[in-house]
Amino acid sequence: MFSYLRERFSSHLRERSRRRARLVSKDGRCNIEFGNVEQSRFVFLIDIWTTILDLRWRYKMTIFISAFLGSWFLFGLLWYVVAYIHKDLPEFNPSINHTPCVENINGLTSAFLFSLETQVTIGYGFRCVTEQCATAIFLLIFQSILGVIINSFMCGAILAKISRSKNRAKTITFSKNAVISKRGGKLCLLIRVANLRKSLLIGSHIYGKLLKTTITPEGETIILDQVNIEFVVDAGNENLFFISPLTIYHIIDSNSPFFHMAAETLLQQDFELVVFLDGTVEATSATCQVRTSYIPEEVLWGYRFAPIVSKTKEGKYRVDFQNFSKTVAVDTPHCAFCLYNEKEAKAKEKKGYDNPGFVLSEVSETSDTKM
């Protein structure tokens, strides 16, 4: 009993480790890291806009708050320095006829409040700049311009982060498994994809990449070698009318990398099928891409998807997502090579070639004739 449980546990760990060894997760995230990058990390500051957009929300909000608080405090120090140099502070005991650069700045706190009021333009109240010194006027102009730049950049980054098409891609879902069965007399690999919103993706295009390790004739081992996989629906693979769930399929012919695979050897293969769906969001005209992947354990040979669309009595079309990833076993050849050999044999029988029912019989002729 103990040995049986240990074997089951070890097999479970092997299967789990194999499932984790995938480049693209089911939700489209890429499982890859970069090591020993020679370029400095400061190169990311050159493309600061993309760097800010790719940050997580907690880091983005930290930068957002720090940018405003830092600029307010920095200019608050500068206003305090101006007041200190011009001897406007109370500790200098200015005379009654003394005109300060900024009215009513009595310390660092009041200088910070004046900096805040200047940058966010919420009104000065009884603190204001006088015409006494040009330094204060220049500092006021400089802070106003810099404040507009900071506001535009940070608010634009927040808006761009919220409106990214990446969030729209989360409403596109793929079936949990891919299936292999006959369709239209051909052996096909089928995947189901659905749009959870009623708004369409304009100009949708779907395609796939088969990732596997290959060895070239020269003996070079290529890890994650990419092979194009063409997916189509009945109307093609571009400009999909993506209003209801679609079943896309790849024809397994002699040019397909699945041609030499069989039902018995499928789980022994080492590949990852990555499926991409590109489209333009109808509401924002922004392009988005949805990704998912399938490993051999997630490809079911000899199954097809259960029906998902029905028509109600009111004349509406109803999509039942309970059957979205449900599969049904069907009669399927165990390999593509056998299917095409069977078709070729049937075609030869119809033409009369190599007919096994033909039997040659000997007929003896007699030379007796009666006149």
**pLDDT of amino acid 366:** 53
| Separation between Cα atoms, residue 48 and residue 50, nearest integer Å | 6
**pLDDT of amino acid 124:** 64
| Separation between Cα atoms, residue 104 and residue 126, nearest integer Å | 7
CATH 2.60.40.1400-classified regions of the chain: 168-349
| CATH pick for 168-349 out of 1.10.3720.10, 2.60.40.1400, 2.30.40.10, 3.40.50.1260 | 2.60.40.1400
The string of pLDDT tens digits covering residues 307-316 is 888 888 888 8
E strand or H helix that includes residue 192: strand 186-195
**pLDDT of amino acid 78:** 94
Q: How is residue 204 written in tokens?
A: 């949708």
**pLDDT of amino acid 112:** 92
Residues 6+ apart with CB under 8 A from 225: 211, 212, 213, 214
**pLDDT of amino acid 371:** 44
Q: Are 232 and 173 in contact (CB under 8 A)?
A: no
Sheet holding 221-229, edge to edge: 221-229, 201-215, 271-281, 287-294
| Separation between Cα atoms, residue 123 and residue 287, nearest integer Å | 42
Q: Are 22 and 292 in contact (CB under 8 A)?
A: no
CATH 1.10.287.70-classified regions of the chain: 51-163
Query: Domain 51-163 adopts which CATH fold?
Result: Helix Hairpins (1.10.287)
**pLDDT of amino acid 358:** 54
pTM (global) more than 0.85: no
**Residue ranges in the chain whose pLDDT is less than 70:** 1-20, 36-42, 123-125, 234-239, 340-371
Residues 6+ apart with CB under 8 A from 198: 243
